[in-house]
Amino acid sequence: MNMFDKEIDNIKKIRPGANKGQTNPHKFALLLAIIALYENNPNRENKFFIDCELESLFEKYFKILDASRNYISSMIEMPFFHLQNDGVWRLFIIPGKEDEYRNIVANHKSRFTKKRIKEIFSHASIVDDFDVMFRSEEGRELARDTILKIFEGHISENKDDSAEVSLMPNDTNHQFVHYLNSLQRTDGKNENALAESQACNKQFAAIHVPHPLTDLILSELNKEGGDHIILTGHAGDGKSTIALDLYKRLKGIGADQPLDSPPKPREDIGAIAIIKDLSERDKQEDQALLEEMASGSRRFLLVSNTGTLIDLTRDNAATFALDPTTIEEQVLRAISAESGEARLVLGDFRFRVFNLALLDNLSLAKKIFHKMLDPKHWQPCQECERRPACPIALNVALLTDNDARAVERIFLAYRRMYEYGARLTIRQFTEHLASLITAGLEGEDIARLSIGEEDAGLAAYLFFNRFFGDNGKERDANAQEMQAIRAVSRQGFGDRPVSSWEHRLWLRGAGQEFSLRIPKIETIFQNLRRIGARVQDGRAAREQVRRMLFFLYDFATEEQGFLSQYLCSPTLLQWLTWQREGKLVLNERDQLDEQIYPVLQEHFTGVRLPEGMTKQERRLYVTLSRHRSHIRQSAQIVLAQVDWSTAVDLVLRPRETSLGRRRYDLVLQGKGLIAGLELLLPVPFLDYVMIRRFGELGEVLDASYRQRLDHFKAQVQERAAADREERFMLVRLRPDHTFHRQYFSIEQEHLEVRDVL
């Protein structure tokens, strides 16, 4: 006897009604749609709504069960309401809508249309016995087989002999598209945005990329005499996913195999314990937990946010034999380590701490994007009749056919954001990247789109516009909810058009034969160019053309300046070259030296030095000067000075991350009087140097970098303070923008002034 015999009997007892002697498929098609939703996520909430997802599945199974009948969208309302009469379905009335419900029931001329169902019922749920059954793979299979047998004869009569009938959900053209949309938090269908849901979702394996920390953590936990592991970071950084990967590895479960249910808050596997979220623990058990950790009987992986970790350690300070303040300082120091990894020793407890928020996650995000674009997910699109006018298919084609440019340029923009401090979590990357492919569209939306293969309206859904969260003209209100979109909008991408390219693209008679050289969207590109050439209403079209160039055009070496200008980062491409080659060439070092010196001198003295004067005598002065916004001082008292030519050096310093990757930082190192002093020169500072050099006086350096410069200035002043005994030096800016130095001293009540050669 099968454990689901009772439920199978109830399916057979469903009263579906008949049409011309043939059993109506409506209720069974809805049941199959519900089963498909459980198939995608066995741990899903038992709540169902009439939405695009459910309607798409209902339509599919309705056509499988009765291909002879024309399907219309209103068919779902009948089984959604009447299935409650068969003991497998419950409807929940919205509070305050009871009278409206009773009036429709009492009025025999009224019925529950789709609109009324949505207005009156908050949701529907499968009864508990069926909920248990559908969460089981065996139960779902039994239910599908039962329904197939009911309709077996009719399916055989109506199906094309060459077609293969399947009640499994994974063969629909739109299944993967829907999964990508479920990762986007732009509407209510985002149940797969969290790792807890992903654990049980078969589609998760389609985009999952193991985190490189997983092997490192597993090695530490298995190592004799190894430390306990603390894994921290921001929500969405991938902490729970790493814990899930470790759980599967330790249990011998395939990485692509979904779980029947999510891991429990604590999972013990042999001599290793995984606590997937320290905030979910019972605080009353803290002492017992710490005693178990101290005993050495198990090695622990603790997944925690900063606040919870500090609370656990401070509240149990006596166990660690340290005072709470010392504990908090050590914990904060460990989770703030620049490399993203640190050792934390609290009394007899030893931890290895990994902070995902401090690790560069762009390479991981790129691997996820490549998995999203894997051709095997898009094979059904090749034969879809909607393909010629499908924005999703076109996005996939543009991104895969031009991978070396399109994907690289997307991540070039992300790199600029990262270096400027706009760090995204893996969850934020995933939802943004998924939106670039689907634009939030489902199969039903594409069927309703009235656009042609070469229609400019396609551009509204293409990735080069969706990257910015708009359709090329107007913002998408839903997309603006994404943190990635908000971060992109703050970058100012494209705010500084390249004059030579503007002339080439828009000036009449110039560049009319210019081509994007991508046949799939050449017509769209040229249409936008024609619109953009108009003075009055071409602004939006011009912006779209620039976007298409940035993401898709194959620039010659001498044209790379367009990319730098579009990114508002003159030095990013140069910085990336350093990361690849790990060295500065001699001429490059000299050029950087000449560019950085006047910017530092301006910051230290308030005097702007024109380009070219740096080839003469170069000394770095720290002066007693007022803020330059108050008054311009051509003469200033010198507090400290060093010979720039002999006192500083520019080096590329390698830095190892906890992931074993090497990053090169440009550093200004002091020598002689200021030996040991260092000034880190990141991309934003180098961009500031270049932009100031180009004469853009309105450019303002971020406050954090100004603070670094002020700190370096104070250090230089302390090390190289001027002689204060009975004289002081004054520097005066000459008309030729060179400094004239003079010593002032008092000798026998006389003022002595001496020029310094």
Average pLDDT over residues 693-718: 78
- Inform me whether the pLDDT recorded for 609 exceeds 80: no
Let me know: does 288 contact 319? Beta carbons within 8 Å: no
397, 462 Cβ separation under 8 angstroms: no
Q: Whole-angstrom Cα distance, residue 208 to residue 379?
A: 19
CA distance 612 to 554: 35
Q: How far is CA 656 from CA 339, 664, 685, in A?
A: 7, 9, 22
Residue 225: CB atoms within 10 Å:
6
pLDDT number for residue 293: 94
Residue that has been written with the tokens 């703030």 in this structure: 336
In tens, the pLDDT along 527-580 reads: 999 998 887 778 999 999 999 999 999 999 999 999 999 999 999 999 999 999
Taking the C-alpha atoms of residue 474 and residue 462, their distance in angstroms, rounded to an integer, is 14
191, pLDDT greater than 90: no
What pLDDT, on a 0 to 100 scale, did the predictor assign at position 455?
Answer: 65
Count other Cβ atoms within 10 Å, centred on residue 565. 20
Q: Which of 275, 305, 277 is nearest to 289 (CA)?
A: 275
Length of the chain in terms of residues written: 757
The beta-strand segments (E) located in 484-542 are none
Average pLDDT over residues 663-675: 93
Q: Where in 366-515 does DSSP place strands (E)?
A: none
Mean pLDDT of 455-465: 87
Q: Which residues contact 488 (CB under 8 A, 6 or more apart)?
A: 413, 417, 467, 468, 469
| CA–CA dist 416, 617 (Å, integer) | 36
Asked if pLDDT for residue 617 goes beyond 70, the answer is: no
- Say how far apart CA 126 and CA 34 lie, in whole Å: 9
Contact, 39 vs 202, CB < 8 A? yes
How many of the other CB atoms lie within 10 Å of CB of 510?
11
Helix axes 403-419, 539-552, angle to 10 degrees: 100
pLDDT at residue 382, as a whole number: 82
Distinct helix (H) and strand (E) counts, the chain: 33, 18
Q: Does the pLDDT of residue 19 top 70, yes or no? A: no
Residue 478 has pLDDT above 50, yes or no: yes
97 neighbors 24 (Cβ within 8 angstroms) = no
pLDDT above 90 for 417: yes
Position with higher pLDDT, 347 vs 165: 347
Q: Please check whether residue 86 is in contact with residue 176, taking contact to mean a CB–CB distance below 8 angstroms.
A: no
Q: What is the mean pLDDT of residues 412-417?
A: 98
pTM over 0.85: no
The helix/strand/coil state of 678 is strand
Q: Is the pLDDT of residue 336 over 60?
A: yes
SS3 467: coil
Local confidence band at 153 (pLDDT 50, 70, 90 cut-offs):
low
**672 to 314, 619, 646, 679: CA distances (angstroms):** 45, 14, 8, 15
CA distance 144 to 168: 8
Q: 668-676 — which CB contacts under 8 Å span 24+ positions?
A: 668/596, 670/716, 670/719, 671/646, 671/647, 672/642, 672/643, 672/646, 672/647, 673/642, 673/647, 673/719, 673/720, 674/642, 674/647, 674/648, 674/715, 674/716, 674/719, 674/720
Residue ranges of E strands in 270-382: 272-275, 299-303, 341-346, 349-355
| Short-list 532, 554, 535, CA closest to 545 | 532
Contact criterion met (CB below 8 Å) for 129 and 33? no
Which structure tokens are listed for 399? 């991104």
Predicted confidence band at 281 (pLDDT cuts at 50, 70, 90)?
confident
- Kindly tell me the burial class for residue 231, based on how many C-beta atoms sit within 10 Å of its own C-beta (0-12, 13-18, 19 or more): buried
Model confidence at 18, pLDDT cuts 50, 70, 90, reads: low
Give pLDDT, residue 687. 92
721 backbone dihedrals φ, ψ, rounded to 5°: -60, 145
Q: What is the pLDDT of residue 187?
A: 42
Task: Of 590-599, 622-631, 640-649, 676-685, give the range with the top mean pLDDT.
Answer: 676-685
Beta bridge partners of 666: 652
Helix (H), strand (E) at residue 638:
strand 635-643
Considering 18-32, 292-306, 631-645, 691-705, the range whose residues carry the highest mean pLDDT is 292-306
Chain-wide mean pLDDT for the chain? 84
The letter for the amino acid at 491 is: Q
Share above pLDDT 70 across residues of the chain, in percent, rounded to a whole number: 85
Confidence bin at 17 (pLDDT 50/70/90): confident
Q: Which residue bears the tokens 């249990």?
A: 251
Cα-Cα end-to-end distance for the chain = 105
Residue 109's pLDDT is what? 61
Q: What H or E segment, with its residue span, contains residue 665?
A: strand 662-670
Contact between 7 and 130 (Cβ < 8 Å):
yes
Q: Check: CB of residue 264 under 8 Å from CB of residue 277.
A: no
Give the Cα separation of 178 and 340 in Å (integer): 35
Confidence check: pLDDT of 241 > 70: yes
Beta strands in 266-322 (DSSP E): 266-269, 272-275, 299-303
Which range among 8-12, 497-501, 643-647, 753-757 shows the weakest confidence by mean pLDDT?
753-757
Angstrom distance (rounded) from CA 254 to CA 748: 91
pLDDT of 449: 75
* Partners of 652 in beta bridges: 666
Q: What is the pLDDT of residue 280?
A: 84
User: Is the Cα dihedral 372, 375, 378, 381 positive or negative?
Assistant: positive
pLDDT the model gives residue 185: 57
Q: How many other C-beta atoms are found inside a 10 Å radius of the C-beta of residue 374? A: 14
Strand order in the sheet with 349-355: 266-269, 272-275, 299-303, 228-232, 349-355, 341-346
- Please tell me the number of Cα atoms within 13 Å of 72 on its side-chain side: 5
Q: Which of 257-266, 425-434, 715-724, 731-740 has the highest mean pLDDT?
A: 425-434
Distance of CA 748 to the CA centre of its chain: 72
What's the rounded mean pLDDT across residues 680-703?
Answer: 78
R_g (Cα) of the chain, nearest Å = 33
Q: What percent of the chain has pLDDT over 90?
A: 46
pLDDT of residue 736: 66
Q: What is the pLDDT of residue 570?
A: 93
20-77 residue pLDDT tens = 567 788 899 999 999 999 988 888 889 998 876 788 788 888 888 887 766 665 678 8
Q: Which residue bears the tokens 């069927």?
A: 447
Backbone angles phi, psi at 89, to 5 degrees: -145, 140
Backbone angles phi, psi at 752, to 5 degrees: -110, 130
**Mean pLDDT in residue range 314-325:** 94
